[in-house]
Amino acid sequence: MLDRTKLIKELREISADLFIDYSAQYAYAQEIWDKICQDSLFIHKVKSASSSWALPWWTDSLHETILVTPPSHPYRVLAVDGSQIYPDKHQGTLCFLINIGTVLLTYGIPDAQRVMLTTQPHVFVAGTDNNELDATAEVVNCRRQEYELHKGLILGRQLMQQSTVPLVFLCDGSLIFWHLESKDIQLKHTFLSCYLALLQQLYEAKIPTAGYISLPKAKDLVSLICYYLDDKPTQPIDHVVDAAIMKSVLPLYHRSIVFKSNSSICASYPEHLRPYFVYIHLDNEIGRIEFPAWIAQDPYYLDLVCQTVLDQSIKGNGYPIALAESHEQAVVKGPDREFFYQVIQKIGIERNERISMSQKSIKKRAIGI
């Protein structure tokens, strides 16, 4: 049990470290960013650079901002999110669950079903996959993202066949698969190949796909500042992120120009699937939208994606409502987890199989004095 009185005391003792004023760093970074925007030769320096920084590329003027308006036409938005129950040795089973929640919202079509909510559990037993990957937490997380993209592909295809009304598929999080960077070679190859195959099929079906990142911590634009300063800033900018720069640059409901990500993992993407991104000023935050090159290079699809994210954010009071609802469909709460293991135990009894739970797990379920 948490001793709240002691907790308050502990938090007050570290409050100076919790609330640090980084305004000087932000101001300095903004000053350098303004200089970069005025340097017409800087883009040529970046494109010929041999820097250790993964510098993004762009074509339009850095100081340009683009107004984004809600769609003036009917549209549909499909959002998919996932949650999981990891394998738990204390429960006496290596069974695990991936739960996929989907939301389809339709606007501007009379008599159409405006909301469609679905959820689909997928149950696995560790050690039965043909790919021989262990069912660790990181593998389960990778598998969950695979199922999210796959569900979006399957539903997206069906929806595209049913109607010509514009459709956007929104994912929660990045389309730059950072989480694979530090993984072992087999795991990285297995899932990166899978993700790129799914993105390829989404491209072939012409389903506009984008990832939305709330409160982004990316430093692509900060890396441009560091390169401009030749890695020698006169004061630290360690705590500055791109969103802090864009906050003072972008008016409300405006987006940045399009940037091409050059992070190391992006080199594995086919050119038409290479991740691009923009920052957008929504009601409560600077958000980041990521999308493949084929969308970045098509003004219609680019506008459709950005307009959809904006409209969904307005309807969701600051966060895309379709993503919020898909999360609610996917989330596995405490009682759901308990039900999952109770059903496994019941099936074990029916099959005359005994499940050996750890004493730790048994004790947690029946605390006594």
In the predicted structure, residue 364 carries a pLDDT above the cut 70: no
Question: Dihedrals φ, ψ of 230, to 5°?
Answer: 60, 40
Q: What domain range is 195 assigned to?
A: 66-330
**Whole-angstrom Cα distance, residue 319 to residue 246?**
18
Closest residue by Cα to residue 177 from 290, 257, 272: 290
Q: At what angle do helices 23-38 and 220-228 cross, to 10 degrees?
A: 70
Closest residue by Cα to residue 46 from 278, 259, 255, 216: 259
CATH of the domain at 312: 3.30.2170
106: left (phi over 0), alpha (psi -120 to 50) or beta: beta
- List helix spans (H) across the chain: 4-13, 15-18, 23-38, 42-47, 137-162, 185-204, 220-228, 242-247, 293-296, 299-315, 321-330, 334-350, 359-365
Residue 354 is assigned to a structural domain of this protein = no
In the predicted structure, residue 366 carries a pLDDT above the cut 60: no
In the predicted structure, residue 131 carries a pLDDT above the cut 60: no
More confident residue, 154 or 125: 154
- Quick one: pLDDT at residue 8? 87
Residue 306 is assigned to a structural domain of this protein = yes
Residue 168 is assigned to a structural domain of this protein = yes
In the predicted structure, residue 368 carries a pLDDT above the cut 70: no
- Quick one: pLDDT at residue 292? 98
Considering the entire predicted model, what is its pTM? 0.89
Residue 351 is assigned to a structural domain of this protein = no
pLDDT tens digits for range 265-277: 999 999 999 999 9
pLDDT tens digits for range 287-344: 999 999 999 999 999 999 999 999 999 999 999 999 999 999 999 988 888 888 788 7
Question: How many separate domains does the chain show?
Answer: 1
Residue 44 is assigned to a structural domain of this protein = no
CB 25, CB 239: distance < 8 Å: yes
Poorest-confidence range of 82-86, 108-112, 119-123? 108-112
- Quick one: pLDDT at residue 91? 60
Residue 46 is assigned to a structural domain of this protein = no
Residue that has been written with the tokens 């993407």 in this structure: 269
Residue 12 is assigned to a structural domain of this protein = no
More confident residue, 109 or 132: 109
Print the SS3 string covering 225-271. HHHHCCCCCCCCCCCCCHHHHHHCCCCCCEECCCEECCCHHHHHCCH
Residue 134 is assigned to a structural domain of this protein = yes
Q: Radius of gyration of the chain from Cα atoms?
A: 24
Structure tokens of 157? Answer: 């295809």
Question: Dihedrals φ, ψ of 333, to 5°?
Answer: -95, 175
